[in-house]
Amino acid sequence: MNSFWQDNPRMMNHLFEVNGVIEQSMTVKQEKMNEILQDLAKSGGKRVRPGLCLIGAGFGAKSFKSIYPLAAVVEMLHLATLVHDDIIDDATHRRGSLTTQKKYGKDYAVYTGDYIFTKCFELLAKNYELHHMRELSRAVSRVCVGEIEQFDGRFKTHDSVKKYLKIVGAKTSALLATSLAIGAYEAGCDEKLCRKLGKIGLHLGNAFQIIDDILDYKGDTSRVGKTLGNDLKQGYYTLPLIYALKTDDAHLNELLSKGHYDDADVQKIIERVDELGGIDQALELAQKYTKKSLKEISALPSCQARDDLEWIVKKLLKRDH
């Protein structure tokens, strides 16, 4: 786990336990697969989804221990999608380490992702009622459709903010919202509260993804762990660019018309998007979603879990990690 949780040691301790469940669940006899899975289990990451799952459970009455497998599952589902995303994007690095597809080959990466997916459903079937299965399978279906929609939309300059948000909702926010809501459900919270938490999770997810996309345009590359303009090079036109394109700027359109960008092109596009206010507008929308979720959080019953939720939303907003 990286430094994300260091100023919330109570949650960090629980997440260490969740990490233990993840490492154990990703242990198999087959040597090669075990090597790949353990590599992945120990590859770090902020553990936002299991954190949200535990925070959701904090609104209820069950011990956190019974939530650990569920929290492990939401992270493992995320890991499975990352392994497959890296195949699509031909990504060489993630979190500063070689990706599975780079280190072991695309072949192993396909089956590794599949294995983790099905292992998650095995864990769910073993430990929990059908409810979580229903919610999580729906969330992951949405992730897949969102990813296809995003991939299908590469290099298209006419995409709207609405479509962008639809994709973000599917590929990112759905799983974050579900993580929070099913944690609460498992801990015995009533449906109304679970729905509210789910809604907060969606706002949080939107803010989270918009900020992530902004980091492709502006960010300390050594801390973000990836280079700028990565999405852009692959034809993923995210919110800053979508806003900038709304100005119908001749210079930006000309820069984009090449359809294939080297480092110098990317540099120029990023600069122009910034000049046209695209980055600021995107940041504004992220802040709008964050404020929305903070407002809804403040209306929740006062408790430790509410404080934790407020803490994580604020932490994710200030994100440059």
Residue numbers 256-315 binding its own copies by CB under 8 A: none
Dist CA 75 CA 1 (whole Å)? 12
Q: How far is the CB of 82 from its own copies (least distance, A)?
A: 12
Nearer to its own copies, 86 or 308 (CB): 86
Nearer to its own copies, 44 or 153 (CB): 153
Nearer to its own copies, 4 or 115 (CB): 115
Nearer to its own copies, 77 or 313 (CB): 77
Count of other CB atoms within 10 angstroms of residue 277: 15
Dist CA 212 CA 316 (whole Å)? 10
Q: How far is the CB of 300 from its own copies (least distance, A)?
A: 28
From residue 91, alpha-carbon distances to 24, 72, 86, 96, 221 in Å are: 27, 25, 5, 11, 16
Q: How far is the CB of 123 from its own copies (least distance, A)?
A: 8
Buried b (16+ CB within 10 A) or exposed e, 195-226: ebbbbbbbbbbbbbbbbbbbbbbbbeeeebbb
- Count of residues of this chain found to bind its own copies when the rule CB under 8 A is applied: 41
Nearer to its own copies, 108 or 311 (CB): 108
Dist CA 272 CA 300 (whole Å)? 42
Residue numbers 57-116 binding its own copies by CB under 8 A: 80-81, 84, 87-88, 106-108, 110-115
Q: How far is the CB of 303 from its own copies (least distance, A)?
A: 30
Q: How far is the CB of 115 from its own copies (least distance, A)?
A: 4
CB distance 248 to 274 below 8 Å: no
- Find the binder of its own copies among 33, 161, 193, 224 (CB under 8 A): 33
DSSP 8-class letter at 64 = G
Nearer to its own copies, 16 or 111 (CB): 111
Nearer to its own copies, 140 or 255 (CB): 140
Q: How far is the CB of 33 from its own copies (least distance, A)?
A: 5
User: Stretches 30-38, 249-257, 286-294, 312-320: which one binds its own copies (CB under 8 A)?
Assistant: 30-38
The maximal CA–CA distance of the chain, rounded, in angstroms, is 59
Dist CA 72 CA 60 (whole Å)? 19
C-alpha gyration radius of the chain: 20
Residue numbers 105-164 binding its own copies by CB under 8 A: 106-108, 110-115, 117-119, 121-122, 124-126, 129-130, 133-134, 137-138, 140-141, 144-145, 147-149, 151-152
Nearer to its own copies, 76 or 252 (CB): 76
DSSP 8-class letter at 259 = S
Q: How far is the CB of 100 from its own copies (least distance, A)?
A: 12
From residue 23, alpha-carbon distances to 1, 34, 69, 295 in Å are: 12, 10, 11, 37
Q: Which residue, among 117, 149, 150, 151, has the nearest Cα to 136 in the 3D structure?
A: 117
Can you give the binding site for its own copies, defined by CB under 8 A?
A: 28, 30, 32-33, 80-81, 84, 87-88, 106-108, 110-115, 117-119, 121-122, 124-126, 129-130, 133-134, 137-138, 140-141, 144-145, 147-149, 151-152
